[in-house]
A and B are shown apart, each in its own frame.
Chain A
Amino acid sequence: MKINWFKYASPTAFYPVAGRLVPVFGVAALALMLFALYWGFFETPERLGGTNPQKEYYRIIFIHVPAAWMSMWLYLVLAAWSAVGLVFNTRLSFMMANAVAPTGAIFTFLALWTGAFWGRPSWGTYWDWDPRLTSELILFFLYIGFMALHSAIDDNRRADQAAALLAIVGLVMLPIIYWSINCPDPNNCAALHQRSSVTDIESNILTAMLVMTLGFWLYSFAAAFARLRNIILLREQDSAWVRKMVDEAGAGPSSSPPPGAGAADGLDAGGHRASRGVSV
């Protein structure tokens, strides 16, 4: 069977596809996250490590590491869709990039937040200007900058292109974060953050961590596709297919105001073409 992938490169065609995918990814994400929580809290040892073990607080690992991985992966996705959009000038690619950004920012913030609450009992401080912590903070600012730059430019096409360029330039942070734990000389630079120890970690801990990562990943799909649908609706609100869809669904109870009241209402709240003002 041959699938014409370009058929789905148009927002019109992808809108219903995304709508079908959101609940699938959402339910699967919820199931995986619940399983990972159960496994992490009840099937794992109470100590992590050998001679100087970390106590129960190490369980933050089950959200800290997955959130940190997602923060970097989602930035890669964001930059990749930005690049595809700049090269091929496809509208849906830019919309994808915009749909991913807030979810990526959330996971970056969570990596920092959970890291702070892990650092306090293990290092004795919530925050340190350690290379990895600092570079992750810059990644967070990059996500914020991407969204702020996009919303600061009124014309969607120009906003797409400017923000995409910023996203691609910001890609430089990913290898910096990745290698930030390799401090060449401990006397010159202090790297508090420990190295990745995925290979020698206890298998139950690893199971919970990896399942949570998969859960976060599927959650990101669900959230990004839901946001993508909102963005498509906002940008295509004047197109025939959105009008048709709204007209067909317009008989619903929530959208049938008394006659006459609707006109004034509409002029007040959305009488002028407002493609902004609703945060998605």
Chain B
Amino acid sequence: MQGLIDFLSQGGYAFYVWSAFGMTFALLVAEVVVLRRSRRTILQRVGRLARLRTQNVPPGEPS
């Protein structure tokens, strides 16, 4: 337990150390999340457009 507290306090520099590492962690995780979500969004939209075509939308319509 004391070891964990010592580790987290980083010799009194916890604020600086964890601010730096925390932001790095947050941004890398956020990038992965955004990439996955936008992939899903794109596939859904492409799928919708594909279904629109199969449902006999008049060819003049923008699709």
Contacts and interface: CB of A to CB of B under 8 A. Distances in A.
Interface of A: 41, 46, 55-57, 59-60, 63-64, 67, 102-103, 106, 109-110, 113-114, 117-118, 120-121, 219, 223, 226-227, 229-230, 233-234, 237, 242-243, 246-247, 249-250, 254-255, 262-263, 265-267, 269-274, 278-280
30 contacts: A41-B7, A46-B11, A55-B12, A56-B11, A56-B17, A57-B13, A60-B17, A64-B20, A103-B31, A109-B27, A110-B24, A118-B20, A226-B39, A230-B42, A233-B42, A237-B42, A237-B46, A242-B46, A246-B43, A247-B50, A255-B43, A266-B48, A266-B49, A267-B52, A269-B45, A271-B52, A271-B61, A278-B41, A279-B34, A280-B38
A278 B36 CA distance: 12
The 8 closest A-B pairs by CB, nearest first: A56-B11, A266-B48, A57-B13, A114-B20, A56-B10, A117-B20, A270-B45, A255-B47
Nearest to A57: B13
Nearest to B51: A262
B20 A63 contact: yes
By secondary structure, the A interface counts as: helix
Given A59-B17, A270-B48, A278-B42, A114 B23 contact: yes
Q: Indicate the size class of the contact surface on chain B.
A: 35 or more
Interface string B4-47: 00010011110011011101100110011011101111111111
Contact of A113 (B23, B35, B50, B61): B23
Interface centre among B12, B28, B40 (most CB of A within 10 A): B28
